[in-house]
Amino acid sequence: MIDNLQDVISPKLATAIANPLFPTVDSLLRSGRHISTEQLDNHAFLMDFQNELDGFYRRYNVELIRAPEGFFYLRPKATTLIARSVLSELEMLVGKVLCYFYLSPERLAQQGIFSTQEVYDELLNLADESKLLKAVNQRSSGSDLDKQKLAEKVRAAIGRLRRLGMIHTVGEQNSGKFTISESVFRFGAEVRSGDDPLEAQARLIRDGEAATPQSLQLEKQALTNTENQPEEMDEESAVEIEEEFDDAGEQE
């Protein structure tokens, strides 16, 4: 029996939860969405109650993160109670291309509008086409059909990132045109630091900003090892490999 509700929830957190915006913002964050400065009301709400809501979400073993660029998102820990999933390597590569576009002079020249075709062309410019095709189909022969499948995967990746709040469709849903949010800086660690891209990507994985099948396997092993340790082991000493995005309930 709880005698004093204030021992459990602070008055300011109670105010945040009672706010009409809370259900919407909470649902967006739990689904993996990024709340950028473009979403004026939702972003202002998170700014007002950031500390209180961070404490609230830590009960679920996730953190409410405000990135240097200003956008908010939830970063799950290995023991998160909120469902999650992982971006593929191709989706992360598409995210890096979007980050590059966001910083490019063309963004101003084109009024911030880009197309799916431009992302595809830039991918082929930055990465080896044969390796990209192999990522889609290990037996790829470089045929037109293989290239068509790659283009479809790129479109699907862009759709996934749109659902995460990283881009916003311009015009009709299937127009293939979009604007880019500052939340693409989830993929921009090397832009911030100037480090070698490979080392930057490794840091993304270590810090929970990205994940690969290998990092998830390490996470699983770490959790198994932790479960086999004596109960008096300090929980903070367990290895925590945090994971990238959650899009629970999404339909691909």
CA distances from 111 to 114, 180, 244 (A): 9, 11, 30
Asked if residue 51 has pLDDT above 90, the reply is: yes
Using the predicted structure, report yes or no on whether residue 198 has a pLDDT greater than 50. yes
- 66: tokens are 């405000």
Cβ–Cβ under 8 Å, residues 122 and 100: yes
pLDDT tens figures, 215-231: 545 555 655 554 454 43
Q: Of 222 and 250, which is predicted with more confidence?
A: 222
Instruction: Output the pLDDT for position 143.
Output: 81
181 CB-near residues (< 8 Å, 6+ apart): 34, 36, 38, 71, 165, 166, 167, 168
What pairing do the DSSP bridges indicate for beta strands 72-76 and 113-115? unpaired
pLDDT number for residue 129 = 80
What pLDDT does 89 receive? 84
Q: Residue 157 sits in which domain range?
A: 89-188
Tally of structural domains, the chain: 2
CATH number (domain holding residue 67): 1.10.10.2250
Over residues 164-178, the mean pLDDT reads: 90
Higher-confidence position of 195 and 250: 195
Q: Token pair of 69, please?
A: 């660029």
How many residues belong to the chain? Answer: 252
**Statement to judge: residues 148 and 182 lie in one domain:** yes
Note if the pTM is more than 0.85. no
For residues 179 and 102, membership in a common domain is answered with: yes
- In this predicted structure, the answer to whether residue 13 has a pLDDT above a threshold of 50 is yes
Asked if residue 181 belongs to a domain, the reply is: yes
Q: Are 186 and 102 in contact (CB under 8 A)?
A: no
If asked whether residues 23 and 76 sit together in one domain, one would say: yes
The burial of 65, by beta-carbon neighbours within 10 Å (0-12 exposed, 13-18 middle, 19 or more buried), is given as middle
- 163/184 same-domain check: yes
Q: What is the pLDDT of residue 229?
A: 45
> Mean per-residue pLDDT for 4-18?
82
**SS3 state at 168:** strand
Let me know if residue 73 belongs to a domain: yes
Whether residue 20 is predicted with pLDDT greater than 60 in this model: the reply is yes
Cα–Cα distance measured from residue 32 to residue 46, given in angstroms and rounded to the nearest whole number? 15
Say yes or no: 100 and 139 in one domain: yes
Residue 193 within a domain = no
pLDDT bucket at 194, cuts 50 / 70 / 90 = low
Kindly state whether residues 18 and 48 are assigned to the same domain. Answer: yes
**Whole-number mean pLDDT of the chain?**
79
CB contact at 8 A, 169 and 177: yes
> Which pLDDT does position 225 carry in this prediction?
59
Q: Are 212 and 120 in contact (CB under 8 A)?
A: no
- Residues 13 and 26 occupy one common structural domain: yes
Q: In terms of C-beta distances under 8 Å and separation of at least 24 residues, what long-range contacts does 199-205 make, across chains too?
A: 205/241
Q: Say if residue 134's pLDDT is above 50.
A: yes
Are 156 and 125 found together in one domain?
yes
Q: Is residue 194 part of a domain?
A: no
195 inside domain: no
Task: State whether 34 and 110 are in the same domain.
Answer: no
Q: What is the pLDDT of residue 203?
A: 59
Instruction: Kindly tell me the burial class for residue 41, based on how many C-beta atoms sit within 10 Å of its own C-beta (0-12, 13-18, 19 or more).
Output: exposed
13-27, 125-139, 141-155: which is most confident: 13-27
- Selection from 76-80, 143-147, 166-170, 241-245 with the highest mean pLDDT: 166-170
Weakest-pLDDT range from 84-88, 186-190, 228-232: 228-232
The pLDDT tens digits for 65-86 are: 999 999 999 999 889 999 887 8
What pLDDT was estimated at residue 238?
A: 29
